[in-house]
Structure 1
Amino acid sequence: MRHLIFLIHLLFFFTTFAQSGYQLSSKKTTLTFSKNKNGYSLSFFLKKTPIYSQEKPAIIAVITKDGHRKIYKKAYNEVKNENDKGYICQAEIETMGGAVFKITDVFTKSKNDDIYEVSRIVKVIHEGTNEIGFSSCFTLKTFQESAISDFDFFVPSIWYKDNRYVSKKALASNMTDSLFWFREDRMPLPIFMLRNKKDGTTFSIFHKNADGSTFAGEDGTKTIVDDRMQFAALGMTHYKQTSVGLWYPGTEGERTGIFGMTLKKKTANRFHPLQKKITQKYTVAFSLTSTSDFPSALQTTWQKYYTLEKPKLYAVDLEKVVNGQIGILNHYWKEINNTAGFPFRIKLNGVLESKFDYNYNMGFVGQQTGNAAMLIRQGFKLKDTVLRNKGEKVIKFWVENAIMPSGIPRTWFDPYPQTWRENYPTHLRVLGDGMHGIMLAYSYEKKNGIAKPKWLRACEKVANWLQSVQNEDGSFYQQYNFNTGKIVSDSKNNTSNVIPFLADLYLATHRHSYLKIALKAGDFIYEDTHKKYKYAGGVADNPNIMDKESASMALRAFLALYDIDKNKKWLDAAKQAAFYYQTWVFSWDVPIPKNDKNAIFPYFRNVTGLSQIATGNNAADVYAAIDAFNFYRLYLYTNDAQLLYFAKMLYRNTKQYINWDAKNPIPNMAKNFMGEAVTVVVPRGHGVTYFLPWESYTMLAPLFLLQDTFHSVSYDVEEVEKLNKTLKDSLHDKYAKTGGLN
């Protein structure tokens, strides 16, 4: 019976499609405006097959004084073809309380062939009795009945495929829910996409030219009615069919991350005042295509809307950024009883709260060896022996003290009272970062004619230990007890973390045993990370959930392997990781309220370049700056112009949280300091009140790599791009073959 009903509906739609004079078309899709007994409805066709429709496109929700919410829906009563202006569609809705709304939708085709746009204006014509607020919605509904399991989803930093690798508290973690609406201020771009797994049909929406503003105090799950809220929520409602669209302003539910993620269902309702002076205006871009698989659906969807948004590049003096970060490392470097290093954290005003803030984490959130390498590099460049000696003392400490007889390194040391943290096992992420830092320091010495054989032997000792514990499938376990060598965590999610170090070591020694370990690990992550689309467990302090840094680790690993053997599968895997990675980086400006005294991120800077940390998490940080050089290299390998622009954004926009500009300083922050974790979603701009020196390494390393690889006089990609292509490719190829060692 259901099949027969579908055929009848299909015949009706084909007849409508053939007869309708109201339609917008691209090469493969058509949007029709069809008249029925209720007025005009919408239908969206792909290759003449109806995929999405909306019988009543005008949708208003009203909230009463006693908190009752009611939704009203209506078809368009009028459709006009205004030629160059597109189709103008109008509807009026009257509520039970007597309020009257006029909805005007203007549909046009974007310059991009497969993007349509609807610009909506909602006016309050009459106010109602006992009705205090309203919101409006634009959605399209699947033509056929469907289950959530029929689709793979993409919502930046929230939902990837079926979200099987997120925590139980994360948004979109429970597929038995019916309402999946997410505030756009938690999205790096306001996108919602779903792809039918059976036929590849891919539908997406995007809030174009989003304002996104709100006010200090707009927080919590209590219903708020206020016209200062100019942000939307994107998502879907699923019952027998799936309705995908946008609510304005943005109500988040039936789960919300406001006040933190929980297992409990809760909704944060947001409305505009139901007053005649209030007018809503917003534009929704939407697209219907067919894609071969989920990774290609995500890539094409992200790139088309990123190009449509095209975030403005931040004007920053990168020379000042470099000098400022080196200055911080130089100033706070300290030698304590023959153990040299940098503090773990410093108050944003530049004050050290306690001597115990001097504790040394080798990599990850400590980056002791990475920062030491930065001082060594700059010491050679400036002929500054003080900088160089400080960096060398840090590396000397780790090389001579951290590595156990077995070859496993200890990774966290307290100079007060001169002890290793016995309760902090050796985590593969910390090991990978720390050993890469030593190799980087070694390479700077070698390029300047200085031999450091002890440093290299220390790296070989660790690599030999890795070889001894590598699993048959090529993986490594996540954590090991450095005293006993026993496994502390048997997760294999961090296997990628040591591949760049092993590749560096192979290029330095030409010992094929190290390449063999790296390739074997690469084969494992190709199957386990790339093919499964499992970017999870990238960080040591929030392991085994889908996040951003796992993509960062995968990108570096696959690039390192491609540099060595030029196997196309590594480049394909690097590209996939890079496009997933991009979707975590804010590429539209979510404004910070001006009047919030508790905000740390400055309202006069732009959040583009900040990046969400993980699913099930409200915080963002500056981490993505570390991979600016890798994105630029990927552009050179692929010639994808969007990757070039994104690399420029990482080189520039990630510096907006740094207090580098004396003419436009960030209040209550020491010169050249920067904030760490911060919330872009409400409470906007609130965050950690410490500067962590890992951030210095994150900023400096890609700038030095760019300048050194291309012999540039500046740290700017724009200058490198002025080189002729032959020279640029030659210098890049040299870097790939040597790892920058020569």
Structure 2
Amino acid sequence: MFGKASLVVFCLLGMAAQAAPPMELGRVDGGPAVAFVRNGPGDWGLRIDGTPRIAQARPARVEILHNGQVPQSLAAGYKTLRRTPDGVVAEADLKEHGRALFHIRDVWTMHGDVVTVSRQVQVMADGQGGFASSIAFDVERSVAWNDVKFLAPGILYADPTFDGPRSPGGTLNFAAHRLVVREDMLPAPLFAMAFAGGWSVSILDPSPRGDTTMADTTLSAPILTDARFQFGSLGAKQVEDGPVQFGFDFPGNVGLFGPPLPDKPMMSAPSPVRRYHPIARGVDHHYQVAFRIAHDGSFPQMSRNAWRWAWQTLKPPVTPIDVAQVRTVLLDHLQANSATIGGRTGIPFVLSTVTDKLQWNWTMIGMGFVSKNLECADQLLREGDRDPSERGQKMRATGLAIIKSMIEALPTVPLQGTGYDLATGKVWDHVWLSPYLRNATEDMRVLMQAYAREKALNRDHPEWLAWVKNYSDWLIQQQRADGSFPRRWERGSNAVAEASGTASYAPVPLLVLMTAITKDPKYQDAALKAGEFVWSNWGQRGLFVGGASDNPNITDKEAGMLSLEAYLSLYDATHDAKWLERAKAAGDFAESWIWIWNLPMPVDANNADLHWKKGVPTVGLQGITALSAGGADEYLDWAVPSYAKLYRLTGDTHYRDVARVLLHDTKSMVALPGRLYDMKGPGWQQEHWSMGPGWHGRGVGGHRFWLPWVSANHLHGITVLEETDPALFKEFSEGK
């Protein structure tokens, strides 16, 4: 909406500057002035004299849609300005057919580099249809669309290439010069733009509410009018040859590219999804928007600073858990759901959280990514060391059996796959268990950590080392001259199935560890080359790609999480400060996927039909991939020890705050005694949910299944933090 009826902004404000002195709101520290500029008598606009210049001649803006008609834009300059001790109160009336229809009262304040406006719209006459208002600015025309680098956390990090075509931040929307996102799809209601020369503007809803209805969130109709809508949309667009425009709409209006249809070509333009408030006296239409104007330098620095500004503003609350109880429940649940068939033991690939009906693929036993059988085994071994009772020793026996079964099922290199059928012992012929680089190296790293721990306790497992060493020796022969590794191979072959090197961070921690164990430098040398490849191609741009094995070459948080681990392992091995700086960059990227505000479930939803229940905080959830914008899970809770380590190495207390959120807030939907929700017992949690519109509707996931990674990641955040930083673990466990 804010992009309609492009105005002759700079001409108007340029003439106004000669006619009357501006009323200055304030100045950015060491930077531009923010001022109200007179267009004419009783007609004030707003201008920011930065690099580039940003302005809006008619800040009071409303879009109306009468029943069955084309949307109409009403816009005006402020009629009156009044200084207060805190800022400026600006007011305007918007008329239709000569009668005043809306009264707009904006309160503008400025503190440091942040300009905030609080808007109240009063409907002065009842009418048919609906309305939405916007606060928007135009960028000077010398700035072209491709000159700007855009940030929408969890959706777009400057380059849309890896976001998928139909994503809100993907290539189709970028090509259409429209990047407008509903705030309920965002981990923080934040959008930012970086300009040449280092200046940036970030937009934030500092007091988001997010209320919606089932009709809206399931996209039941392209146009809906409802006073209960309390969400906005924010972003940027460019209409034809007009200026780049950015701002905030309330309620949120967006354009979405629908799924492809067999008999129709790809959509050439996004389909509008419009949401309005009724044109009725007494309707509640108020909101705030904050604009951060800063000189950040590079895009990664802008991204980091804008995200931290959002974090400091929204102050994500921590909802403490009983850490000891959660650990016990999850471990007992893992043990109870391990299965043994024909002397083979594993953790089923998928189990229902609500029924005892078994799925067709429950006997798939896999490594890494979403199956993590060896990591689950390691957690059971750890508990065996903690608990000398029959309970703990039973867990130890199960852990050893899981490892033995995996090695026996996949004895040869090149691997025939990364998983097998528990019922038959044969390699499972499914793409999820193909020889993926990540799947194998992720679980083998955990196995080598367990090997070193066991050996220190005088328990030697030479067959573990031989198996992993055989694979690692083969792996470094697959490394290409540029340092990259293929994502996937054909079964039992050196033939490459997926050539892309996007996941080349995945084997780095394993290879570093193999040098530590064997004292052979060749593994670490390969790790260093892979780390340089990832950094030079993506990391230095503040972008990480390809973490999810089943979503090749897509921007996602797991790519950032795994890169963080890779760079921390290289720093530990070399003590070269550049790897710590790169770890910080990967950590900054990965944390920007964390939900740092509480999004309410649809007001008219039946709680029994929701998978994420009403009243349960959403802080701590994370977006999954840019391709599935609005989808969320808890995968990043695995990285609790990683952020704790960043805190210890850098002294930056923000990383401590991130670790604390990931330890506590990510357990909100784990079924615990006395808090089962609708799950069948303690320890269950389904894999994912939708928070944005359209995926499955807010609060509903694509299925009700548990996968082993859910418990493995929860437990890793607890047990490895306790092992690596017992003091911080004690503080967090005590709620500090």
Could you state the TM-score of these two structures normalised by the residue count of structure 2?
0.91
Aligned to 1:222: 222
Please tell me whether the aligned partners of residues 171 and 257 of structure 1 are also in contact (alpha carbons under 8 angstroms): no
Q: 1:410 aligns with which of 417, 433, 436?
A: 417
Question: Secondary structure of the residue that 2:304 maps to in structure 1?
Answer: helix
2:634 paired with 1:610? no
* Change in 2 beyond 3 A, CA 1:326/1:412: same
Question: Secondary structure of the residue that 2:609 maps to in structure 1?
Answer: coil
User: Once the two structures are superposed, what CA deviation does each residue of 1:707-730 show, in whole Å capped at 9, x if it has no partner?
Assistant: 112345x945536998xxxxxxxx
Tell me how far apart the structure 1 counterparts of residues 674 and 588 of structure 2 sit (CA, whole Å): 36
Aligned to 2:5: none
2:398 paired with 1:397? no
Q: Which moved more, 1:388-397 or 1:349-358?
A: 349-358
Instruction: Say what the alpha-carbon RMSD is for the aligned residues.
Output: 2.4
Tell me how far apart the structure 2 counterparts of residues 43 and 61 of structure 1 sit (CA, whole Å): 22
Aligned to 2:387: 382
Aligned to 1:95: 96
Aligned to 1:487: 496
2:620 paired with 1:620? no
Residue 354 of structure 1 and its aligned partner are, at CA, apart by 4.7
Please tell me whether the aligned partners of residues 12 and 57 of structure 2 are also in contact (alpha carbons under 8 angstroms): no
1:309 partner amino acid: L
Q: 2:560 aligns with which of 551, 559, 577?
A: 551
* Change in 2 beyond 3 A, CA 1:135/1:356: closer
User: Once the two structures are superposed, what CA deviation does each residue of 1:666-692 show, in whole Å capped at 9, x if it has no partner?
Assistant: 124422211211101131110121111
Aligned to 2:45: 41
Aligned to 1:587: 596
User: Once the two structures are superposed, what CA deviation does each residue of 1:459-508 show, in whole Å capped at 9, x if it has no partner?
Assistant: 11111111221112211111112322211111111111111111222222
2:692 paired with 1:693? no
User: Once the two structures are superposed, what CA deviation does each residue of 1:395-423 show, in whole Å capped at 9, x if it has no partner?
Assistant: 1122333131x354631101223320245
Segments of 5+ residues of structure 2 without an aligned counterpart are 1-7
Residue 437 of structure 1 and its aligned partner are, at CA, apart by 2.6
Q: Which moved more, 1:547-556 or 1:140-149?
A: 140-149
2:512 paired with 1:503? yes
User: Once the two structures are superposed, what CA deviation does each residue of 1:140-177 show, in whole Å capped at 9, x if it has no partner?
Assistant: 11133432101000011122113122222222323331
* Change in 2 beyond 3 A, CA 1:650/1:7: closer
Residue 436 of structure 1 and its aligned partner are, at CA, apart by 1.7
Counterparts of residues 338-349 of structure 1 (less than 5 Å) = 338-349=343-354
2:144 partner amino acid: A
Please tell me whether the aligned partners of residues 704 and 715 of structure 1 are also in contact (alpha carbons under 8 angstroms): no
Structure 1 moving runs of 4+ over 4 Å: 5-17, 254-259, 714-717, 719-722
2:53 paired with 1:51? yes
Please tell me whether the aligned partners of residues 158 and 171 of structure 1 are also in contact (alpha carbons under 8 angstroms): yes
* Change in 2 beyond 3 A, CA 1:389/1:281: same
Aligned to 1:231: 231
Aligned to 2:336: 331
Question: Secondary structure of the residue that 1:628 maps to in structure 2?
Answer: helix
Aligned to 1:738: none
* Change in 2 beyond 3 A, CA 1:638/1:257: farther
1:107 partner amino acid: W
Q: 1:653 aligns with which of 637, 656, 665?
A: 665
Tell me how far apart the structure 2 counterparts of residues 325 and 263 of structure 1 sit (CA, whole Å): 46
Aligned to 1:740: none
Aligned to 2:474: 465
2:426 paired with 1:419? yes
Please tell me whether the aligned partners of residues 56 and 137 of structure 2 are also in contact (alpha carbons under 8 angstroms): yes
Counterparts of residues 63-142 of structure 1 (less than 5 Å) = 63-84=65-86, 86-96=87-97, 98=99, 100-110=101-111, 113-128=112-127, 131-142=128-139
Tell me how far apart the structure 2 counterparts of residues 254 and 460 of structure 1 sit (CA, whole Å): 49
* Change in 2 beyond 3 A, CA 1:182/1:8: closer
Tell me how far apart the structure 2 counterparts of residues 16 and 670 of structure 1 sit (CA, whole Å): 73
Tell me how far apart the structure 2 counterparts of residues 16 and 214 of structure 1 sit (CA, whole Å): 46
Aligned to 1:527: 536
Question: Secondary structure of the residue that 2:167 maps to in structure 1?
Answer: coil
User: Once the two structures are superposed, what CA deviation does each residue of 1:592-633 show, in whole Å capped at 9, x if it has no partner?
Assistant: 135334210111211111111111214211101111111111
User: Once the two structures are superposed, what CA deviation does each residue of 1:554-576 show, in whole Å capped at 9, x if it has no partner?
Assistant: 11111110111011221121111
Q: 2:652 aligns with which of 636, 640, 644?
A: 640
Residue 391 of structure 1 and its aligned partner are, at CA, apart by 0.1
* Change in 2 beyond 3 A, CA 1:199/1:258: farther
Tell me how far apart the structure 2 counterparts of residues 575 and 210 of structure 1 sit (CA, whole Å): 28
Aligned to 1:315: 320
Tell me how far apart the structure 2 counterparts of residues 16 and 666 of structure 1 sit (CA, whole Å): 65
Q: 1:143 aligns with which of 126, 140, 158?
A: 140
* Change in 2 beyond 3 A, CA 1:593/1:61: same
2:722 paired with 1:707? yes
Tell me how far apart the structure 2 counterparts of residues 362 and 79 of structure 1 sit (CA, whole Å): 64
Tell me how far apart the structure 1 counterparts of residues 477 and 192 of structure 2 sit (CA, whole Å): 44
Aligned to 2:4: none
2:527 paired with 1:518? yes
Please tell me whether the aligned partners of residues 51 and 144 of structure 1 are also in contact (alpha carbons under 8 angstroms): no
2:167 paired with 1:170? yes
2:455 paired with 1:441? no
2:212 partner amino acid: T
Residue 658 of structure 1 and its aligned partner are, at CA, apart by 0.8
Counterparts of residues 663-678 of structure 1 (less than 5 Å) = 663-678=674-689
Aligned to 1:209: 207
1:667 partner amino acid: D
Q: 1:679 aligns with which of 676, 685, 690?
A: 690
Please tell me whether the aligned partners of residues 346 and 422 of structure 2 are also in contact (alpha carbons under 8 angstroms): no
Residue 98 of structure 1 and its aligned partner are, at CA, apart by 4.7
Segments of 5+ residues of structure 1 without an aligned counterpart are 723-742
Residue 291 of structure 1 and its aligned partner are, at CA, apart by 2.3
Please tell me whether the aligned partners of residues 409 and 426 of structure 2 are also in contact (alpha carbons under 8 angstroms): no
Question: Secondary structure of the residue that 2:601 maps to in structure 1?
Answer: coil
Question: Secondary structure of the residue that 2:446 maps to in structure 1?
Answer: helix
1:161 partner amino acid: A
Residue 257 of structure 1 and its aligned partner are, at CA, apart by 9.1
Please tell me whether the aligned partners of residues 416 and 492 of structure 2 are also in contact (alpha carbons under 8 angstroms): no
Tell me how far apart the structure 2 counterparts of residues 170 and 460 of structure 1 sit (CA, whole Å): 41
Question: Secondary structure of the residue that 2:254 maps to in structure 1?
Answer: coil
Residue 304 of structure 1 and its aligned partner are, at CA, apart by 1.1
2:631 partner amino acid: A
* Change in 2 beyond 3 A, CA 1:532/1:499: same
Percent identical among aligned pairs is 25
* Change in 2 beyond 3 A, CA 1:647/1:97: farther
Aligned to 2:3: none
Please tell me whether the aligned partners of residues 168 and 263 of structure 1 are also in contact (alpha carbons under 8 angstroms): no
Tell me how far apart the structure 1 counterparts of residues 25 and 709 of structure 2 sit (CA, whole Å): 55
Tell me how far apart the structure 2 counterparts of residues 16 and 513 of structure 1 sit (CA, whole Å): 73
User: Once the two structures are superposed, what CA deviation does each residue of 1:70-126 show, in whole Å capped at 9, x if it has no partner?
Assistant: 111010000000113x1100001012495611110001123xx21111111111011
Q: Which moved more, 1:134-143 or 1:263-272?
A: 263-272
Please tell me whether the aligned partners of residues 138 and 245 of structure 1 are also in contact (alpha carbons under 8 angstroms): yes
Please tell me whether the aligned partners of residues 79 and 88 of structure 1 are also in contact (alpha carbons under 8 angstroms): yes
2:587 paired with 1:578? yes
Aligned to 2:462: 453
* Change in 2 beyond 3 A, CA 1:8/1:89: closer
1:100 partner amino acid: L
Tell me how far apart the structure 2 counterparts of residues 627 and 669 of structure 1 sit (CA, whole Å): 28
Residue 255 of structure 1 and its aligned partner are, at CA, apart by 4.3
Aligned to 2:157: 160
Tell me how far apart the structure 1 counterparts of residues 99 and 15 of structure 2 sit (CA, whole Å): 36
Aligned to 2:192: 193
